[in-house]
């Protein structure tokens, strides 16, 4: 493990050091083999006993609402209000951010959120995942991964957790996710993701998604930021007075999720909208050729709500189309 420790006097991550009652921010250089990237990191050391909370945003480089919301919260927090500490990575995938890349890290064309816990001697994404895992996720007592729909995706707001059968861990994950106050709460693993890597290690972990389509409207940023503040209050990291911003909602629990991917390359014509309720077997879209001939019709494999929907006309074989969640 690289330098990533917390004790009663200081909080240190990869050369950044925050003393009690201090916030420190800086760029941390990480060698990914194919390139050296600079990752913006913020440390907040409350100086009192409490959980170490790791938070990431921008695991996918074009998920702008998450990046803007995390920056807002950690740069506005008063360290004197924090019990324990916060380690926040504001843009976790800098090469993807710079390239405005959808889904993939341009350094190796891999999806960072499918290769955790990573491999320190692997490809660029595997090395980046290993660095984030060792420095941010593994040392944490709670991990929160902030996302939104990618540049080509619309979605309803939802949080996600994985239950591991350890009552204290599962209870904290659920309490924090419910406090985030988003429309849906999806329960289940996502192999290779940050949150599943955390859960495998016994660390309570929450995924949170708000917004998408390469936009960062003020209302979405405010909702994501307010959810994070409520989550930190629920974790005992902040006092109740820190829960400011738009109010949350009671999340609808979803226990099953189906991801649909395209079998063909062509032009995507969805027949449903994000947030729509669909029945099993219902047509949800078509992939056509350049002249409008249907190459592939897509039906819902289960009934439920459309959690996210690709909104670009261009579609490649193997790309996601949409996801359906059901109770």
The single-letter DSSP state of residue 263 is S
Question: Tokens 């007592």 — which residue?
Answer: 141
Which residue has tokens 């209870």?
171
| Residue 112: DSSP 8-state | G
Q: Are residues 240 and 267 located together in one domain of the fold?
A: no
Per-residue pLDDT, 6: 43
- Which of 231, 253, 275 is where one domain is finished? 253
CA distances from 35 to 25, 108, 123, 150 (A): 22, 11, 11, 24
Do 35 and 173 share a structural domain? yes
Whether residue 118 is found in the same domain as residue 211? yes
The residue among 253, 269, 296 that closes a domain is 253
Instruction: Measure the CA–CA gap between 70 and 58, rounded to whole angstroms.
Output: 10
Domain co-membership, 40 together with 189: yes
163 and 43 both lie in a single domain: yes
Instruction: Give residue 278's domain range.
Output: 257-326
Same domain, 57 and 105: yes
Q: How far apart are CA 311 and CA 153, in angstroms?
A: 6
Spatial separation of the C-alpha atoms in residues 129 and 142, rounded to whole Å = 18
pLDDT reported for residue 9: 78
Is there a single domain that holds both residue 223 and residue 275?
no
Domain of residue 292, CATH code:
2.40.50.100
Do 280 and 240 sit in the same domain of this protein?
no
68: domain CATH number is 3.40.630.10
Structure tokens belonging to residue 96: 């993807």
C-beta neighbour count of 242 within 10 angstroms: 17
Q: Which residues contact 108 (CB under 8 A, 6 or more apart)?
A: 34, 123, 124, 125, 126
Same domain, 232 and 270: no
Radius of gyration of the chain (CA): 19
Q: Report the pLDDT value the prediction gives residue 257, as an integer from 0 to 100.
A: 93
Which residue stretches of the chain have pLDDT < 70? 1-8
Could you tell me the two tokens for 72? 């807002």
Task: Say yes or no: 193 and 133 in one domain.
Answer: yes
Closest CA to 144 of 212, 230, 204, 234: 204
pLDDT of residue 47: 80
Given a contact cutoff of 8 angstroms between Cβ atoms, the answer to whether 325 and 254 are in contact is yes
The 10s digit of each residue's pLDDT in 255-285 is: 999 999 999 999 999 999 999 999 999 999 9
Model pLDDT, residue 5 = 40
- Examine the fold and report which residue of 191, 223, 253 is the final residue of a domain before the chain moves on: 253
The pLDDT of residue 4? 38
- Per residue in 20-60, pLDDT tens? 999 999 999 999 999 999 999 999 999 899 999 999 999 99
**Residues 133 and 248 grouped into a single domain:** yes
Q: How many domains does the chain have?
A: 2
Do 298 and 170 fall into the same domain? no
């Amino acid at each position: 493990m690289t330098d990533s420790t917390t004790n009663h006097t200081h909080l240190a991550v990869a050369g950044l050091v925050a003393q009690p009652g201090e916030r420190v921010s800086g760029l941390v250089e990480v060698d990914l083999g194919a390139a050296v990237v600079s990752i913006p990191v913020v440390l907040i050391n409350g100086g009192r006993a409490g959980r170490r909370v790791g938070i990431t945003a921008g695991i996918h480089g074009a998920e702008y609402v998450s990046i803007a919301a995390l920056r807002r919260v950690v740069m506005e927090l008063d360290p004197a209000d924090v019990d324990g500490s916060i380690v926040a990575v504001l843009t976790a995938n800098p090469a993807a951010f710079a390239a405005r890349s959808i889904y993939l890290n341009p350094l190796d064309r891999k999806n960072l959120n499918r290769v955790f816990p990573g491999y320190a001697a692997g490809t660029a994404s595997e090395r980046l995942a290993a660095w984030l895992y060792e420095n941010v996720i593994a040392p944490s007592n709670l991990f929160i991964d902030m996302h939104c729909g990618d540049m080509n995706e619309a979605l309803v707001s939802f949080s996600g957790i994985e239950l591991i059968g350890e009552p204290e861990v599962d209870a904290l994950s659920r309490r924090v996710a419910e406090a985030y106050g988003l429309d849906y709460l999806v329960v289940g693993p996502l192999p290779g993701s940050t949150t599943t890597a955390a859960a495998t290690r016994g660390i309570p972990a929450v995924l949170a998604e708000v917004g998408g389509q390469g936009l960062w409207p003020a209302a979405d940023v405010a909702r994501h930021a307010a959810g994070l503040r409520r989550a930190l209050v629920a974790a005992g990291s902040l006092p109740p007075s820190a829960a400011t911003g738009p109010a949350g909602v009671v999340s609808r629990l979803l226990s099953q999720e189906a991801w649909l991917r395209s079998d063909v390359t062509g032009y995507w014509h969805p027949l449903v909208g994000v947030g729509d309720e669909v029945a099993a077997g219902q047509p949800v879209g078509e992939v056509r050729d350049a002249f409008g001939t249907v190459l592939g019709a897509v039906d819902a494999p289960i009934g439920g709500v459309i959690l996210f929907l690709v909104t670009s006309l261009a579609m490649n074989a193997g790309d996601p189309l949409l996801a359906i969640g059901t109770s």
